[in-house]
Structure 1
């Protein structure tokens, strides 16, 4: 049996970051979690891990060593999956993300899109 786990992250504005990631992942705020210096989001189907954000005083200073990848493409890479990745990236920009660059696997195959969340944390859409 797998062990339940939670992903935790530091944040300057935990509520704002939780709002972004809840919308990006289709999560909801954890019922009953009420902390002005933190926020927790959960998968409404109780399948994926919870994600918690805690307020910290120091700013982000370097590249993440661990990050979330949003997988929308599926197992094959073609024009349909590239379009799906690009549509998701546009949606996330509307939520406050920044698109950094597109990475290709070979000359014409979009592999993933590198992005930043509202607090500058790197993540990918693939």
Structure 2
């Protein structure tokens, strides 16, 4: 039996490129090059039938380590809490005030990109503090 070595995370959204570009900034990811024969993604998307234009976008970890993120347009909006979310690890190994300072600094950077701060989950006996946030379309994620 073989084990899976690669996977991608797929987001349903209204505006794939907008959400993908947000996550590129959050994670230091990049858009992959456009398909062969196209100089830009805009050129590629314009070559498609109107109903397929801007239907998806992707971003990748330039180091090749992290998973590919794929964003696909869906007609319905987000209604309830995510069943899956990303934890963006900005403070691993940090505790107390030092951890909070790093979380708050990253939160401020992401809010400037269009994210929304939801709430701080303070440290308890089992877990360090983390910040619950939402991306530009309201998908929850945590700064951890």
- Find the structure with the greater CA-based Rg: 2
Deviation at 1:74, TM superposition (A): 1.5
Gaps of 5+ in 2: 36-40, 46-53
Please give the root-mean-square deviation of Cα atoms over the aligned residues, in Å.
1.7
| 1:87 and 2:87 are equivalent in the alignment | no
Q: Could you list the structure 1 runs, at least 4 aligned residues long, displaced by more than 3 angstroms after superposition.
A: none
Choose from 124, 127, 134 the match for 1:106. 124
Identify the match of residue 15 of structure 1 among 14, 17, 25: 17
Q: Distance in 2 between matches of 1:74 and 1:10?
A: 28
**Whose helix proportion is higher, 1 or 2?**
2
1:34-92 residue CA offsets vs partner (Å, 9 max, x unmatched): 45211000001111000000001111110000011111112231211210111000100
Partner of 1:29, secondary structure, is coil
* CA distance in structure 2 between the partners assigned to 1:16 and 1:102 by the alignment: 26
TM-score, normalisation: structure 2: 0.81
Aligned length in residues: 125
Extract unaligned runs of 5+ from structure 1: none
Which moves more between the two structures, 115-124 or 78-87? Answer: 78-87
Higher strand share: 1
Give the TM-score of the pair, scaled to structure 1: 0.92
